[in-house]
């Protein structure tokens, strides 16, 4: 009898783990910052902004929007379709608080056929680099990754789900995103619609 | 000899009763646990707003259940140096399972810290907000029902439109 209960418990635990692992892996696959690197950057930075909104939280947050208003309804619809919004913004007191190897590591995480670079900017004088990549699935955009590295500022934005470049400005109202997206909004190529939507 | 045993038994019982009280007070979780932990760690005292329970009931009724379980604590003259990572760890540990941090802003120099955590509570959503701005630290927890709250807000926005017409 006891061993039966034990077996049931073990089966339940295994099922729960089996369900939880893919859900976790989905985000962790896309999120390029390892916990160690994230901790290291946060420890060196003078100001840190982190926004972590998974699908469930976004769905819930969208309910707070007034769907009767035309503009709000469009944002609500956009947010409801997204799988996640992740933002990290680090401000540093001095130069050299992160290495170019670390930036390369971040870029390499997106060197897959799905992620296509749409902006690649390197300013030799200021040392600023900007990368904007779009996740394309069957000709439609299913994510945007923005990496903006300045000598004293590092910004990472990852938006998963159906989104276009011009939608970025609509998300500015979400806490913390306004500032982070403001940095990169101007760099989007004007003609790029980001997929067949 | 028997009376001697009784004398020993009484303090022993008192001690046994005290231990769980002390343990529970120290290991208290949730909103009160966070506030207590901040008070202890930073040697600060929170101002508890009187009749908060009544206010929570009133706000719940006024919003037709849109808002409830309201907790507020305010620390004035909060001058302690705060390590953002430590504060974050402490809050998450005290709040317990189910809470997800959605926004964190931390400034080493300016003494500014913001933490927003959310927890699904069935059809409702628990919101926990901690905000340190200069020498004022505010901690708020509230449970909201977005659908009901939206209805209540919608009612007032209609009034606004009506009055502006």
Q: Is the pTM of this model over 0.80?
A: no
- A157: CB partners within 8 A, 6+ apart: A86, A87, A144, A145, A146, A177, A180, A181, A184
And the tokens for A111? 């060197």
Query: Does residue B23 carry a pLDDT above 90?
Result: no
**Mean pLDDT over the full length of chain B:** 79
> CB distance B85–A66 less than 8 Å?
no
Which residues of chain A have a CB within 8 Å of the CB of B147?
Answer: 63
Residue B24 has a pLDDT of 42
**Across residues B105-109, what is the average pLDDT?**
86
* Residue listed under structure tokens 């004293």: A152
And the tokens for B30? 């949730």
**What burial class does residue A184 get, using C-beta atoms within 10 Å of its C-beta: 0-12 exposed, 13-18 middle, 19+ buried?**
buried
> CB distance B105–A60 less than 8 Å?
no
Indicate which of A52, A63, A88 best probes the interface with B, i.e. most B CBs within 10 Å of its own CB: A63
And the tokens for B8? 């020993």
Residue B156 has a pLDDT of 63
And the tokens for A6? 């034990």
Size of interface A-B (CB pairs under 8 A): 59
H-type alpha helices, B27-99: 30-42, 52-62, 84-95
And the tokens for A99? 């290495």
**A127-162 per-position pLDDT tens digit:** 899 999 999 999 899 999 999 999 999 999 999 999
Per DSSP, the three-state class of B116 is: strand
Element spanning B111, H or E: none
Query: Does residue A179 carry a pLDDT above 60?
Result: no
Confidence tier at A92 by pLDDT (50, 70, 90): very high
Which residues of chain B have a CB within 8 Å of the CB of A176?
Answer: 103, 105
> CB distance B100–A57 less than 8 Å?
yes
> CB distance B116–A175 less than 8 Å?
yes
- A92: CB partners within 8 A, 6+ apart: A44, A45, A46, A98, A151, A152, A153, A154
> CB distance A60–B125 less than 8 Å?
yes
State whether ipTM is beyond 0.90: no
Give the B-side interface with A, CB within 8 Å.
84-85, 100-110, 116, 118, 120, 125, 146-147, 149-150, 153-154, 157
**B66-101 per-position pLDDT tens digit:** 788 899 999 999 989 898 889 999 999 999 989 999
Per DSSP, the three-state class of B102 is: strand
> CB distance B105–A47 less than 8 Å?
yes
DSSP B77: S
């Amino acid at each position: 009898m006891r061993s039966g209960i034990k077996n049931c418990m073990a089966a339940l635990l295994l099922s729960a783990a089996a369900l939880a692992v893919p859900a976790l892996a989905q985000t962790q696959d896309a999120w390029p910052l390892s916990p160690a690197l994230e901790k290291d950057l946060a420890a060196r930075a003078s100001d840190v902004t982190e926004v972590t909104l998974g699908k469930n939280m976004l769905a819930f947050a969208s309910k707070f929007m007034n769907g009767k208003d035309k503009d709000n309804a469009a944002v609500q619809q956009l947010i409801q379709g997204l799988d996640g919004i992740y933002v990290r913004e680090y401000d540093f007191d001095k130069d050299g608080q992160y290495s170019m190897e670390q930036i390369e590591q971040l870029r390499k995480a997106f060197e897959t056929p799905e992620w296509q670079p749409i902006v690649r900017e390197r300013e030799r004088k200021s040392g600023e680099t900007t990368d904007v990549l779009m996740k394309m699935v069957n000709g439609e955009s299913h994510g945007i990754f923005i990496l903006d590295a300045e000598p004293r500022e590092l910004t990472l934005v990852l938006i998963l789900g159906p989104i276009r470049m011009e939608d970025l400005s609509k998300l500015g109202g979400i806490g913390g995103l306004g500032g982070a997206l403001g940095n990169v909004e101007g760099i989007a190529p004007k003609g790029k619609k980001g997929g067949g939507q | 000899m028997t009376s001697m045993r009784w004398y020993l038994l009484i303090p022993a019982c008192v001690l046994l009763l005290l231990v769980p009280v002390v343990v529970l007070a120290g290991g208290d979780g949730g909103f009160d646990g966070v506030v207590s932990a901040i008070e202890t760690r930073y040697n600060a005292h929170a101002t508890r707003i009187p009749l908060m329970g009544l206010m929570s009931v009133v706000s719940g009724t006024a919003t037709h259940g849109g808002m409830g379980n309201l907790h507020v604590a305010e620390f004035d003259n909060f001058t302690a140096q705060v390590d953002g990572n430590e504060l974050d760890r402490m809050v998450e540990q005290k709040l317990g399972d189910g809470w997800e941090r959605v926004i964190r802003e931390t400034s080493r120099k300016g003494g500014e810290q913001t933490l927003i955590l959310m927890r699904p509570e069935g059809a409702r959503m628990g919101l926990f907000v901690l905000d340190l701005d200069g020498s004022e630290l505010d901690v708020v927890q509230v449970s909201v029902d977005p659908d009901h709250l939206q209805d209540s807000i919608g009612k007032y926005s209609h009034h606004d439109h009506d009055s502006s017409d």
